[in-house]
Structure 1
Amino acid sequence: YYEVFPSNNLELGLWLESERMLHPVINQKGVDTQNEVVKEEKRLRVDNSPYGKFIENIKKNLFQNHPYKETVIGKMADLDAATLDEFIAFKKKFYSPNNAVLVIAGDFEKDNAKKLISDYFKDIPKGAEITRNFPKEDPITTEINAKAYDSNIQIPASMIAYRTPGLRNRDSQVLEMISTYLSDGPSSKLYKKMVDDEKQALQIGAIPVTLEDYGMYIIFALPVGETGLNTLNNSIEEEVEKLRTDLISENDYQKLQNKFENQFVNSNSSVEGIANSLAEYYMLYGDTSLINKEIEVYRSITREEIPEVAQKYLKPNQRLVLEYLPEQNTAN
C-alpha cells in the first residue's frame, strides 16, 4: 500500500495506514465485493487473455512441493469457497506491525515524523510470530516435456524454463544479466538471430522471475509461418550453449554493465522509487544499505561468472520444454 501526499499532509498518510492496520472493516459485503473484483481480474488477465496461462503451466511443472506450484491469483473454486472467518484470520495473522515495514520518503522533518509514527502506531498490538518453512524441491536432472492448451490463441508458442535460485543468491543477479544479453531489445542475441536474421520467430523473449526461495528463468518464442517448435528450441539451445561454454565479448559485457547501471539509477531517481527500493531491500534482504551499494554487485560480476552460472542452471537436462498450443474446438 502506498500514498503520495503533499509534504504538509504526512500526518494524514500515517493516520490512514494505522487505521488500515488497526481498524479495517472486514465484513461479508466487502468480502463478496472484493471476491468479484478478483474474479474479474482473473478473467481479464488470465482466463481470457492470450497466453495468459503460460506462467501457471510453467509453475506447476517446475515445482512439485513448494507453494510456488500454485497461482498467486488462485482458482475460482477457492474464491467461491472462501469464508468471512478466513479473511479475518488472514488479516490477523499477517497485517501486524512485526510483519510490516513503513517507509517515508520526501520533504519532512525527521524528529516530527518519528513522533507522528509513534503516536499512530505504538498502540497497535504485535502479532504472533510468523514461521515460513516451505518444502524444498529436488533438483531437476531430466528434461521435462509438457503441453498446455489455450483457447485464446491461434499461434503456438514454445516455452523453455529452468528452476533457478532465490533472490538472495548472487547467481540470480548473474541470471538477470544473462536474460538481458539474450533477449533485451533488437540487438540481443536471440532476437537478432531468430527474428531478424533467420526469420524463425515472430517474437522471442526471456523472463527472469526472481522470488524469495526459488526463481524461474523462462525463454519463449512464437514461430513464423510453418516453423516448428522444435526448430525454435534448437536455435535457443544453440545460443544458451554458447553462454555455457564461451566468454561473451568485452563489448557486450560493457553494454550489460551500462544497462544495469542505468536501470539502477532510474529506479531511484524519484521519491517514490526511493521509497519502494527501501521497502524492498528491508523486507526481502534485511539490508536498506543496498540502496547505495546494490549496483556494486552487478559491477562485480565478471565475464567468467556468466558461463559458470549458465553451466550451473541452464543445461538441457535441467529444463522444462512446454508446448503452448491453441485449443482445438472439438464441437460438432
Structure 2
Amino acid sequence: MKRACFLIFVLILSAAAFGQVNVAPLDIKERTLDNGMTVVSVRDTSNPVVTIQVWYRVGGKDDPQGKSGFAHMFEHMMFKSTKNMPSEKMDRLTEDVGGWNNASTRDDLTNYYEVVPSNYLETLLWAESERMVNLSVDAKNFKSERDVVKEEYRQGVLANPYGQLFQYLDSLTYKVHPYKRGVIGNLEELSAATLEDAFAFYRAYYRPDNASLIVVGDFDQAKLDGWVDKYFGRIKKPSEPIKRVEVVEPDKTEVTRYTKKRPNVPLPALGMTYLAPPSSSPDVPALEIAEAILSNGESSRLYQEIVFKKQLAQAVNLFTDIRTDKGLLAFFAVAAGGKKLEDIEAAILAEVKKLKETPPSQKELEKAKNSLITGILRSRENANGKAVAIGEAIIYKGKASAVNEDVAKLNAVTPDDVSRVLSKYFRENGRTVIYYVNGTPDDNDKSTAKKGGRQ
C-alpha cells in the first residue's frame, strides 16, 4: 500500500511539472445475457482475491408512495434466508474464508458486494444468483429488518444533532421528485410498509434485466463466463416492464427559506441548496472542480475566508451530490459561537460571486484537478475499488466504459468552465435556504417557509 501511494504521489508531481496525468484504462470485458443482465469483468492478478458485485437500478426514489425508506429496508432483507440458504449465510461464505461483504442503498441504486479469495468465486456467484430469485420474504424477517432500519433512523437522524438537517436538504429542496423522500425514510412511513409491499418490490426490481454483475480480480475468464451462464443465465426475464420514475423536478425560480428547530442542536447551522444537473451532463466535471476550489480542505476558499479569516463558522462545506436526475449542490455550515447564520450565508454567496466573476488561476485549477485525480487513483488501487468505479459509471453514465473517461474529462476543464457552471447552476433566485437552530419544534413539522431574499 505504501509503495502504491508513493507511486501515485510521484505521478501527480510529474503531472504538475510536465502536463496532464494519463491513466491506463481498465481492460473491461462486457456482455449481456439473454435475460438482459449485463456482465462486466476486469482481470487483476496483483492479489489472489476477487470482488463480486451486483448493482440493481433501484434506490430510494423508487420507494412505494407513502412508504419511504423501503429500498433501504429491502437491502437488509437480502441478507436473510433464501430457498437454499439460511439467514446470514452471506457472512459465513465470506467472513469464514477471510473475506467480507456489504451493501448500500442510494437514491438511484442498491449494490451488493463481496471480496473473497479467488478460489471462492464460483460459490459467491451462485449465492448472488440465489438471492436474486429465491429470497424468502417472510413476516419474521420483514419485521426484524424494519426494526433495524428504524433504529438506524433514530441513531443517524434523531440522535445526531445535525442529522435532521441533512434530511431537510432533500425534503425541502425537491417539490415533486421522489428524491424529496430521502433514502432512510422516517418512522411513520417505515411502519406503514407491509409484507405484501416487500413481495411486490422484490418482483418489480430484483430481476436480471435490472442488474449489472461486476467481477474484478484474479480469475480465469473462460471459467467466469461458464459460471455466469450456469447460475445467472438460467434466470428468466420477467415479461412486465420495469417501473421507472418519470417525474421531472422543475427548475427553481425563487429563493425559498425555512427555519427549523430541534432541541439537540448545539450551534446554529445553515443548509443552502441549488439543483445540480443530471449525472449525464457534461458540466459535472467542472462542478466537481468548483467544489474542490471552494471547499476541499483548509486551503480552500470557503475555509480560508469564513472559518480562518472572518471566524464566522467552525465548519463550512460544499457537496456536489450528483444523481441520475437533478441532484443537489449543497452548502453546509456550522456557526462559530455567537455568530449569525445571516452573515455566514452572505459570506458564502460572496465567495461564489467572486468565482463566477473571476475564473480561478491556472495554479488553483491544477491543484483542484490533482486532488480529484489523486482520489480517483487511490480509490482504484484494489479490486473492490475498481468494481465500485465501474458500477457508478454504469448507473450514472449509462456505460461501463465511462470509468475510463473521467480523468480526461477533469483534465479538459478550463478556468472559464468553472466560472460558467457556477453562473449557470448557482443562480441567485434558484436556491433553498434552511436555518437550523436550537428550540422546540413548532406544529406541522415545526417550521415555516418564506419566499424571497435574505431576511
Distance, in Å, in 2 between the alignment partners of 1:328 and 1:82 is 29
- Distance in 1, Cα, partners of 2:396 & 2:426: 25
Report the counterpart of residue 254 of structure 1 in structure 2.
Answer: 366
Give yes or no for contact 1:173–1:298 (8 Å, CA) kept in 2: yes
Farther-moved stretch of structure 1 (128-137 vs 301-310): 128-137
Shift of 1:239: 0.3
| Residue deviations 1:152-204 (CA, integer Å, cap 9, x gap) | 21211122111111111122222111111111100000101111111111111
Q: Does 1:142 align with 2:249?
A: no
Q: 1:151 aligns with which of 257, 260, 263?
A: 263
Give 1:84-233 correspondences, 5 Å limit.
Answer: 84-127=195-238, 128-233=240-345
Q: Deviations over 1:104-138 (max 9, x none)?
A: 11110001110011111122111232142422222
Partner of 1:318: 430
1:292 alignment counterpart: 404
- Normalising by structure 2, what TM-score? 0.70
Q: Does 1:43 align with 2:154?
A: yes
Residue 126 of structure 2 corresponds to: 15
Structure 1 letter corresponding to 2:141: G
Aligned to 1:80: 191
CA shift for structure 1 position 214: 0.7
- 8 Å contact 1:162–1:314 — kept in the other structure? yes
* Conserved 8 A contact 1:51-1:150: no
Q: Kindly indicate whether the alpha-carbon contact (under 8 Å) linking 2:313 and 2:336 is maintained by their aligned counterparts in 1.
A: yes
Aligned counterparts of 2:315 and 2:305: Cα–Cα separation in 1? 11
Query: Judging changes above 3 Å, is the alpha-carbon distance between structure 1 residues 308 and 329 closer, same or farther for their aligned structure 2 residues?
Result: closer
Are the counterparts in 2 of residues 160 and 321 from structure 1 also a CA contact under 8 Å? yes
Measured against aligned partners, the alpha-carbon deviations of 1:190-231 in whole angstroms (never above 9, x if no partner) come to 101111111111111111111110111111222222211111
- Percent identity, aligned pairs only, is 31
Hey, what's the Cα distance between the residues in 2 that align with 1:78 and 1:36?
Answer: 12
One-letter amino acid of the counterpart of residue 241, structure 1? K
After superposition, residues 1-12 of structure 1 pair within 5 angstroms as 1-12=112-123
Q: Which moved more, 1:10-19 or 1:222-231?
A: 222-231
The verdict on how the C-alpha distance between 1:136 and 1:329 changes in structure 2, with shifts beyond 3 A counting, is closer
Cα deviation, residue 301, structure 1: 0.9
Residue in 1 that maps onto 2:166: 55
More helix by share: 1
Following TM superposition, by how much is the alpha carbon of 1:86 offset from its aligned partner in structure 2, in angstroms? Answer: 0.9
SS at match of 1:102: strand
Alpha-carbon distance between aligned partners in 2 of 1:35 and 1:323, rounded to the nearest angstrom:
32
Q: Following the alignment from structure 1 to structure 2, what is the Cα–Cα distance between the partners of residues 285 and 204? A: 29
Structure 2 contact 161–264 (Cα < 8 Å) conserved: yes
* Structure 1 unmatched runs, 5+: none
Instruction: Give the letter aligned to residue 18 of structure 1.
Output: S
The answer to whether the 8 Å contact 1:101/1:283 transfers is: no
Relative to structure 2, which stretch is displaced further, 27-36 or 128-137?
128-137
Paired position in structure 2 for 1:71: 182
- Counterpart residue type for residue 308 of structure 2: D
Point out the structure with the larger strand share.
2
Aligned-pair distance for 1:329? Answer: 8.4
Q: After superposition, what is the alpha-carbon deviation per residue over 1:243-286, rounded to whole angstroms, capped at 9, x for unaligned?
A: 11111111101101111211121121111011111222123322
Q: Is the 8 A contact 2:324 2:396 kept in 1?
A: yes
CA–CA distance in structure 1, aligned partners of residues 297 and 132 of structure 2:
43
Structure 2 counterpart of 1:25, from 121, 131, 136? 136
In the TM superposition, structure 1's runs of 4+ consecutive aligned residues that sit over 6 Å from their partners are none
Aligned length: 330
Q: Which residue of 2 aligns with 1:273?
A: 385
Q: What is aligned with 1:240?
A: 352
CA distance in 2, matches of 1:58, 1:116: 44
Point out the more displaced range, 120-129 or 21-30. Answer: 120-129
Q: Give the letter for the 1:108 counterpart.
A: F
SS at match of 1:4: strand
Give CA-to-partner distance per residue, 1:48-71, whole Å, 9 cap, x none: 111001122122221111111112
Amino acid at match of 2:387: A
Deviations, residues 274-322 of structure 1 (Å, cap 9, x unaligned): 1111222123322212222211111111111111111111122111111
| 2:321 match: secondary structure | strand
Contact 1:67 1:134 in 2 (8 A): no
> What is the distance in 1 between the residues matched to 2:162 and 2:347?
22
TM-score by length of 1: 0.96
